[in-house]
Amino acid sequence: MTEVDRLTYLRVVLILAGLACLALYPLMLFWPSGWAWHNGHSDYPMMIVGIYATLGVFLILAARDPLANLSLIWFTVWSSAVHGVVMAVQAVTQPGHMGHLIGDVPALFIVAIALSILMPRSQSAATPQTHNRA
């Protein structure tokens, strides 16, 4: 895969990941066993929705110029991986949360893996090139 192709796919995945983040609230409503962690009254779901909605907007904006947003993208990779591991352990150890193993847990790992695979492979590819205008 060329660096140009990699960057094109990275832009697409950033937009899809951003849209997935923005879709968290509807997913929590329509598939609570796979996306919502608290039953009954809790302030937690709206806090998570707020964080992920913000991340979603910034991922979509980062798609315009991924090379200028590498820190955000790497944050998304690592925070998704860590969040996915924590949630997987919780889903396995807490009765009633196994549905997350086919909902939000794999979604986090898919985002982390896809973004990490598509990140630039060399320092020169990750550094925006300046062009001499003569």
Confidence of residue 132 (pLDDT cuts 50, 70, 90): very low
In a domain, 133, yes or no: no
In a domain, 134, yes or no: no
| pLDDT tens digit sequence for 62-112 | 999 999 999 999 999 999 999 999 999 999 998 888 888 999 999 999 999
In a domain, 132, yes or no: no
In a domain, 75, yes or no: yes
127 has a pLDDT exceeding 60: no
Return the higher-pLDDT residue of 53 and 43: 53
85-to-41, 72, 88, 102, 105 alpha-carbon distances in Å: 25, 20, 5, 14, 8
Token pair for residue 40?
Answer: 């009954």
In a domain, 127, yes or no: no
pTM for the predicted model, two decimal places: 0.85
**Beta carbons within 10 angstroms of residue 118's beta carbon:** 21
The domain tally of the chain equals 1
In a domain, 23, yes or no: yes
> 110: domain range?
3-33+42-121
90-to-61, 72, 99, 133 alpha-carbon distances in Å: 32, 26, 11, 56
Q: What is the mean pLDDT of the chain?
A: 89
28 has a pLDDT exceeding 80: yes
In a domain, 58, yes or no: yes
